[in-house]
Structure 1
Amino acid sequence: MDLTIAEIAAQIPTDDPVKAWWTDAAALPVNTTTSEFLIKTLKAASDAQRVKNTNLPAGSRISGYPAPVNSGVTTDAATGVLSFVTTYSVSSRVLVNLDIAVSPLA
Structure 2
Amino acid sequence: MDLTFAEILAQIPSDDPMNAWWAAAAVLPSDTTVSEFFAKTLKAASDAQRVKNVGVAVGSRVDGYPAPTNGAVTVDATTGLQSFITTYSVRSRVAVTLDVAISPLA
Q: Distance in 1 between matches of 2:68 and 2:90?
A: 10
Q: Distance in 2 between matches of 1:41 and 1:14?
A: 24
Q: Does 1:66 find its partner at 2:70?
A: no
One-letter code of the match for 2:25?
A
Correspondence for 2:28:
28
**Structure 1 segment 1-106 matched on structure 2, within 5 A:** 1-101=1-101, 103-106=102-105
Provide runs of 4+ in structure 1 moved above 2 Å: none
Identity %: 66
C-alpha offsets along residues 50-104 of structure 1, whole Å, 9 cap, x if unaligned?
Answer: 0000031111111110000100000111111100000000000001122321x10
Q: Distance in 1 between matches of 2:39 and 2:55?
A: 25
Q: Distance in 2 between matches of 1:2 and 1:65?
A: 23
One-letter code of the match for 1:85?
I
TM-score calculated relative to the size of structure 2: 0.95
One-letter code of the match for 2:96?
V
Report 1 or 2 for greater relative contact order, CA contacts < 8 Å, sequence distance ≥ 6: 2
Q: Distance in 1 between matches of 2:68 and 2:83?
A: 15
Instruction: Structure 1: give runs of 5+ residues left out of the alignment.
Output: none
TM-score calculated relative to the size of structure 1: 0.95
Count of residue correspondences = 105
